[in-house]
Amino acid sequence: MTQTFDLIVRGGEVVNHAGRGITDIGVRNGKIVAIGDLSQASAGEVFDAAGLTVLPGVIDSQVHFREPGLEWKEDLESGSRGAALGGVVAVFEMPNTEPTTTDPDALADKLSRAKNRMHTDHAFYVGGTHENAPFLGELERLPGCCGVKVFMGASTGSLLVQDDEGVENVLRHVNRRAAFHSEDEYRLADRRSLARPGDWTSHPEVRDAQAALQSTHRLVRIAKGLGKRIHVLHVTTKEEIDFLAQNKDVASVEVTPQHLTLVAPEAYERLKGFAQMNPPIRTADHVAGVWRGIEAGIADVLGSDHAPHTREEKARPYPASPSGMPGVQTLVPVMLTHVVDGKLSLERFVDLTSHGVNRVFGLADKGRLAEGFDADFTIVDMKARKVITHAQMANRAGWTPFDGFEAKAWPVATIVRGVVVMRDDEIVAEGRGEPVRFLETLAR
């Protein structure tokens, strides 16, 4: 009897836990149900992937989509449109919106806003504060929550827990892995006078490597004392990579494409305010140190830290210009260019963008191209050559720091739970995103 499927992805080079090889994938009811030779099977839809590479769906575990309150920069629809156009199947969105996502109503509001508008699957962080710390154990278990996020150094928005007592109080009340923006606010405050008006090259002097390392030392000490798990976001310094390598029992590590690709001072001289983010773009020795973190297996996940501001805001003279840059749409082509250039294996890319997210965040049914998991695929052309431009960007701010970057690979389709959402640079199925499910918050 002929096998039948809702979708067959046929003849692509599949890269997953078993390695890589030419094969077919069968999908029913949004799940992967067969991997192998399906040449005799039939399906409602067949995606011809011959000559293409089929990856587990890329998950971007750090984005700022700015809704509610800052929609002139970005919103959930446009942000997820960029994600899907970039080959990303799911995003974890940050809490520093207006109002902040720090209580059940704010989380429910974001989930409501996302319904029938977001094109990718999604989850939302709850912001940890001095005030809501006692309730975080309950908040982190709410459906649609990917965990607790804490800012130890001030960045965009009003969320800040700079003191050891506050960090300890947050960690004491959480049970899941908590994510941290790790820069020492006390040192940042002491160094703000080092900002040279109109000179963006002074940004990494104000927010220097020691500010990051000092904070990460404090954070790990507190986490170890309480026996809690932490996730250190956007690690940028070679010293932190070496330190975190000795503390993998409690600490997982995120790195970003921009900190692996842009280099100071050249990036600031060329891009000016468009290169400004927190923590900063750093010098070549730190970039090499972060690459070592990838090569040695210290880095667990790759996140974009997508955080748009308008061109007008970015054009303000430093330090009045805000920190943050778009990135969700360019994560895949930029990092796959590093793959083509031999700096990163395709298998390691998969580990950083799907398998690692599955492990670190405990995804219930995503992050693996395997039978029984969601049929999420990022299908790429590893031979494509395209130049990234501002005009391609879906973000409401309308720009990218990678304008003019020659990509040597390109996402050609984004499939979310068996639905082709993006094909050939066009969204072909709108508003299909659903909340991501986590092992630690499944209904008992």
Catalytic residue IDs: 305
d(CA 257, CA 64): 16
β-bridge partners, 53: 13, 380
The number of beta carbons lying within 10 Å of the beta carbon of residue 30 is 16
Cis-peptide into 319, omega within 30 deg: yes
Write a three-state SS string for the chain. CCCEEEEEEEEEEEEECCEEEEEEEEEECCEEEEEECCCCCEEEEEEECCCCEEEECEEEEEECCCCCCCCCCCCHHHHHHHHHHCCEEEEEECCCCCCCCCCHHHHHHHHHHHCCCCCCEEEEEEECCCCCHHHHHHHCCCCCEEEEEEECCCCCCCCCCCCHHHHHHHHHHCCCCEEEECCCHHHHHHHHHHCECCEHHHHHHHCCHHHHHHHHHHHHHHHHHHCCCEEECCCCCHHHHHHHHCCCCCEEEEECHHHHHCCECHHHHHHHHHHCCCCCCCEHHHHHHHHHHHHCCCCCEECCCECCCCHHHHCCCCCCCCCCECCCCCHHHHHHHHHHCCCCCHHHHHHHHHHHHHHHHCECCCCCCCCCCECCEEEEECCCCEECCHHHCCCCCCCCCCCCCEECCEEEEEEECCEEEEECCEECCCCCCCECCEHHHCCC
Burial level of 37, CB count in 10 A (0-12/13-18/19+)? Answer: exposed
Q: Do residues 66 and 75 make contact, with C-beta atoms less than 8 angstroms apart? A: yes
Which residue's entry shows tokens 């940050």? Answer: 94
Q: Do residues 113 and 67 make contact, with C-beta atoms less than 8 angstroms apart? A: yes
